[in-house]
Amino acid sequence: QVQVVESGGGLVQAGGSLRLSCAASGRAFSTLKMGWFRQVPGKEREFVAVISRSGGITYYGDSVKGRFTISRDNAKNTVYLQMNSLKADDTAVYYCAADGRYLTSYYSRVDKYAYWGQGTQVTVSS
């Protein structure tokens, strides 16, 4: 069983930056594609970013392109989400997700990730 744990959430002013971290254990980290999603109450979970097993391929949701960067350090079993130019609309619970299947064109679908963290709150004040 893969365990996924996020950290780094908090309160930040609009225009500021925040970096989220996510550690995965229970399986060789380099065999997992890693994604970030976010959710606000009453809405569906939204795709934010994904990174392939090697880190060579990344995709982003339209609302975060150019502002967020996903990266991974396979030696540390950790994936990061660097969030810059934050807006009030970025306020959400951010979830880290992992899956052992290859990255495909369905990367934005929640059901393509088998393992999920508990989430970390990000609040952007305007």
Query: What's the whole-number average pLDDT of the chain?
Result: 97
Give the pLDDT of residue 52: 97
Give the pLDDT of residue 48: 98
C-alpha to C-alpha distances, 31 to 10, 41, 64, 87, nearest whole angstrom: 30, 32, 26, 33
- Element holding 103 (H helix, E strand): none
Give the pLDDT of residue 55: 94
- Average of per-residue pLDDT across 19-42: 97
Q: Predicted confidence band at 94 (pLDDT cuts at 50, 70, 90)?
A: very high
- Cα(81)–Cα(123) distance, rounded to whole angstroms? 15
Q: Predicted confidence band at 10 (pLDDT cuts at 50, 70, 90)?
A: very high
pLDDT in tens, 46-93: 999 999 999 999 999 999 999 999 999 999 999 999 999 999 999 999
The count of other CB atoms within 10 Å of the CB of residue 104 is: 9
Give the pLDDT of residue 40: 98
Give the pLDDT of residue 80: 98
